[in-house]
Structure 1
């Protein structure tokens, strides 16, 4: 968060004659400052790491992907947006669930050296408008992945879901202030919130700061690095069964469901999709 420091110069003079002090007169002066909305353009500060794991990594460098987009600049903006990667997955003759890799991010240690670590899928927001006016974040997805190379018309229906949204900040030191201004995660720890489905695209709210909340820099993370997929069972997240290492160690809080369908993988099976993240400045 960009800090504004106000310096006040106070001069005091005390005249002493013997044991008594006589004030001949009292005068006052004024000091002025004009506060404007912060933007911190060009100033890079780490994103608060929203990993509840007690052994979490340092706060990572921010990753807004495209800083030139309107949502990534100004007094209210995104400072971090996720790059979700499900890696290489095997086709199945039935509806299948897959889980995302944890994000690999760069971070600076207290000694000043750069390290790479694993982090939850995260979204970061900074509000320096003043007044804690409130805001919310929504995400939408149309449920369709398109082939990157080869036949551009080749598509796969696949639906995304999130759970275990954890919110954190470094803008306030006192725990009482954190709780006072903390936005609310709209994605709970136990139930998946679908951001796309066979019913089509919809805007799903994931983070909300009511009026009077949300000032400063906040991050919401989905998942925690000490809770990982087991690699067991059909989807790799069962309690029992043999371990498939390709399905082990993933983030169970970011899920993709692929219904049974014919998928073309002849000329390279790389597919991608677009998620739309919206930061609303009014509620």
Structure 2
């Protein structure tokens, strides 16, 4: 009697396995038996700061340093999930005073290991949806001396040889400014740097000015010769703005 009950229970179990799993053998007792289980992983947007990567090899992390003062801390990136991780500070060097029009080039971006890279800005989209975004930059007024308060009126910064690099398999931003010039007095519209349409730009993307060969000649400061130049240090600032507006709706 016990054997009959045990066999009946076993038969019910086998029947349940066959009916509940479409990949189980249709013929009872056939071996090997198979059984599938669900295996799941989920992802959510990240608000962590993404560290800089090498603009020539985005799979490698890197540590940029200030080109004028290597001991000066680099500004940290913004928080995610849509973030500006880094933008190169520009240093046009110490130059002799001349009375003719002159172009000066920003030094290449130095790294902590002593090597240099193209000047670059890095954006990361960890929202998890490829919604698109727009990166812009604006100059916040003329170059100005903190000593005399004099300005280099009309001195213009221009970027050339714009390129995009990424280590992700998401499509790169399709709208890239290969070259542009900033409005020196800060009153003009911001310049579009790169724009990702919907379906583009997930992960980390880099806009770099030139490749390794052109890294020292891709960001230029044009200074008119007629300007009076005092033996002082002149500075200005640039503001990079990242919005969640995709390419088809780029703000004017």
In 2 relative to 1, CA 272–197 (structure 1 residues): closer, same or farther, beyond 3 Å?
closer
Q: Residue in 2 aligned with 1:205?
A: 192
Instruction: Verify: 1:256 aligned to 2:221, yes or no.
Output: yes
Q: How does 1:141-152 map to 2 (within 5 A)?
A: 141-142=139-140, 144-148=142-146, 150-151=147-148
In 2 relative to 1, CA 22–88 (structure 1 residues): closer, same or farther, beyond 3 Å?
closer
User: In the TM superposition, what is the alpha-carbon distance from 1:281 to its structure 2 partner?
Assistant: 1.1
Partners in 1 of 2:203 and 2:139 — Cα distance? 28
In 2 relative to 1, CA 35–199 (structure 1 residues): closer, same or farther, beyond 3 Å?
closer
Instruction: Verify: 1:194 aligned to 2:181, yes or no.
Output: yes
Contact 1:122–1:221 (CA under 8 A) maintained in structure 2: yes
User: In the TM superposition, what is the alpha-carbon distance from 1:263 to its structure 2 partner?
Assistant: 2.6
Instruction: Verify: 1:20 aligned to 2:30, yes or no.
Output: yes
Contact 2:51–2:61 (CA under 8 A) maintained in structure 1: no
Partners in 1 of 2:35 and 2:191 — Cα distance? 59
User: In the TM superposition, what is the alpha-carbon distance from 1:92 to its structure 2 partner?
Assistant: 2.5
Q: 1:81 aligns with which of 77, 87, 91?
A: 87
Task: Report the structure, 1 or 2, having the larger strand content.
Answer: 1
Q: Residue in 2 aligned with 1:220?
A: 207
In 2 relative to 1, CA 126–159 (structure 1 residues): closer, same or farther, beyond 3 Å?
same
User: In the TM superposition, what is the alpha-carbon distance from 1:166 to its structure 2 partner?
Assistant: 1.4
In 2 relative to 1, CA 32–62 (structure 1 residues): closer, same or farther, beyond 3 Å?
farther
Q: How does 1:42-121 map to 2 (within 5 A)?
A: 45-50=51-56, 59-61=61-63, 65-67=74-76, 72-106=78-112, 115-121=113-119
In 2 relative to 1, CA 62–264 (structure 1 residues): closer, same or farther, beyond 3 Å?
closer
Q: Residue in 2 aligned with 1:168?
A: 165
* The structure with more radius of gyration: 2
Give the match's secondary structure for 1:282. coil
Q: Residue in 2 aligned with 1:184?
A: 174
Contact 2:45–2:127 (CA under 8 A) maintained in structure 1: yes
Give the match's secondary structure for 1:47. coil
Q: Residue in 1 aligned with 2:152?
A: 156
In 2 relative to 1, CA 146–38 (structure 1 residues): closer, same or farther, beyond 3 Å?
same
Q: TM-score, normalised by structure 1?
A: 0.65
Q: Residue in 2 aligned with 1:4?
A: none
Partners in 2 of 1:98 and 1:210 — Cα distance? 35
Deviation per CA, 1:229-250: give whole Å up to 9, x if none: xxxxxxxxxxxxxxxxxxxxxx
Q: Residue in 2 aligned with 1:124?
A: 122
Contact 1:165–1:185 (CA under 8 A) maintained in structure 2: no
Deviation per CA, 1:148-192: give whole Å up to 9, x if none: 3x22x2111211110111111123xxxxx3xx511135222xxx4
Task: Report the structure, 1 or 2, having the larger helix content.
Answer: 2
Partners in 1 of 2:205 and 2:225 — Cα distance? 39
Contact 1:65–1:81 (CA under 8 A) maintained in structure 2: no
Once superposed, what is the RMSD of the aligned Cα atoms? 3.4
